[in-house]
Amino acid sequence: MNRFCLSLENEDLGVTPIENIFINHYLPRAPGDFVKVYLLGLKYCFNSSSSISNRVIAKTLDLLESDVVKAWTYWEDQNIIRIEHQDQGENLIHFLNIKEVVLNKSSSLSNKKPNTADKIISSRKNKKIKDMHEVIEKMYGRPLSTSEILLYQQWMEDYSFTPELIVLMLEDCFNRGRKEMAYIKQVALNWFNAGVKTLKDAEKYMLSHKEKWEKYFKVMSFLGFKRPPTQKEEEIMDKWFDQLKLDLEVILEACGETAAISQPNFRYVDKIITDWHNKGLTTLDKIKAESTIAPKKYKRTPKKSTSKLDLDHNYDMDNLEKKLLKRNRGDLGD
């Protein structure tokens, strides 16, 4: 009688097979942290015979242990793993062959899922969900599409968002002039990753980001833009504020250099800021001191005084804050 095992001294040289059906149909709509837990568990499934605790997995992936538990629950609900609870609190996690789960309807974990029409009909029977749809339709000024209704349903199932929370999140996006679906999906994922589950969580999260948005609007107004920043512009400003750790006064000083060109743009400002940062000019005093030593690379032309920021735009931050912190949501049914 023979027993067989694969001898591999260096784990990095091993291979973990991932089914294409997982990549194509499960990965795109799953939370990123949950995907990391699944893939690490799959690697252990093929390359380790020892027990691995959720605490070790959480430490390895830089997650909370509670997030690891949520991930296992999520994948079990997706019917691609089975958790077998054993003695002494140990779990045996079965990674199922997804093709077999999909094709073999007799599998014990294959639950019949309602079709699209059934999901919509079922959701409309819930008064809070029905009221949510009506409120969002008023916000858009049109009926919701089937894909939008299913997306909100998915947020309630996968992210544990309440109808009130979804409306508040959409109001937050709309008040910043952002209605594109790709942006809204990213905001929903950000809220989920930040642990936003209740209106109180949302209030705290939005207040923590209020200062960032005020900086955005000041930069946009200084450059003469009467619109919200695009996603790419947000990424560039995040680089200035978060990655380079620059103060607003330094950013506005760089924006002032756009007086030398006819059409201000973020790439021009980013080039100036990056050049300053590489030279160690990270404060307004250092920048002014440098300008007295070396001639300016960008000659300014006379322009309207910018000593006072032109904040005459469509974003009333005080009004926005009051609206976002309004707890008594009379527009949704109890």
pLDDT digits (tens, 9 = 90+) for 265-324: 888 899 999 999 898 888 888 888 887 665 555 444 434 444 334 444 444 555 555 555
- The string of pLDDT tens digits covering residues 53-73 is 899 999 999 999 889 999 999
**pLDDT score at 234:** 83
* Closest C-alpha to 197, from 48, 40, 66: 66
Higher pLDDT pick, 191 / 311: 191
Between CA 130 and CA 299 the distance in angstroms is: 59
Cα dihedral 184→198→200→28 (10° resolution) = -30
Instruction: Decide: 89 and 83 in contact? Cβ < 8 Å.
Output: no
Does the pLDDT of residue 245 top 50, yes or no? yes
Between CA 208 and CA 145 the distance in angstroms is: 32
Position 237, amino acid: M
Q: Do domains 116-201 and 225-309 have the same CATH topology?
A: yes
Looking at the chain, the whole-number percentage of residues with pLDDT higher than 70 is 76
Which DSSP symbol is given to 245?
Answer: -
Between CA 327 and CA 323 the distance in angstroms is: 9
How many CB atoms lie under 10 A from the CB of residue 213?
19
**pLDDT score at 155:** 93
**CA quadruple 229, 235, 240, 242: dihedral positive or negative?**
positive
Assign a CATH topology to domain 225-309: Arc Repressor Mutant, subunit A (1.10.10)
Domain boundaries, the chain: 11-103, 116-201, 225-309
- Mean pLDDT, the chain, rounded, equals 79
Q: How many residues make up the chain in this entry? A: 334
Between CA 261 and CA 299 the distance in angstroms is: 10
Instruction: Find the helix or strand (DSSP H, E) in which 81 lies.
Output: strand 81-85
Which DSSP symbol is given to 216?
Answer: H
Between CA 115 and CA 119 the distance in angstroms is: 6
Looking at the chain, the whole-number percentage of residues with pLDDT higher than 90 is 20
Does the pLDDT of residue 193 top 90, yes or no? no
Angle between helices 231-238 and 199-222 (to 10 degrees): 90
Between CA 242 and CA 250 the distance in angstroms is: 13
Residue 3 φ then ψ, to 5° = -120, 150
- The string of pLDDT tens digits covering residues 233-244 is 888 998 998 888
Angle between helices 163-175 and 317-324 (to 10 degrees): 170
**pLDDT score at 150:** 87
Q: What is the CATH superfamily name and number for domain 116-201?
A: DnaD domain-like (1.10.10.630)
How many CB atoms lie under 10 A from the CB of residue 53?
13
* Mean pLDDT in residue range 97-117: 60
**pLDDT score at 114:** 56
Give me the architecture of the 11-103 domain, per CATH: Orthogonal Bundle (1.10)
β-sheet bridge partners, residue 317: none
Does the pLDDT of residue 117 top 70, yes or no? no
* Closest C-alpha to 329, from 191, 166, 195: 166
Write the burial class of residue 26 (CB in 10 Å: 0-12 exposed, 13-18 middle, 19+ buried): middle
Block residue for tokens 């995040």: 238
Instruction: Decide: 74 and 30 in contact? Cβ < 8 Å.
Output: yes
pLDDT band at 106; cut points 50, 70, 90: very low
**pLDDT score at 171:** 93
Between CA 101 and CA 121 the distance in angstroms is: 27
Query: What is the distance, to the nearest Å, from the Cα of residue 140 to the centroid of all Cα atoms in its chain?
Result: 22
β-sheet bridge partners, residue 57: none
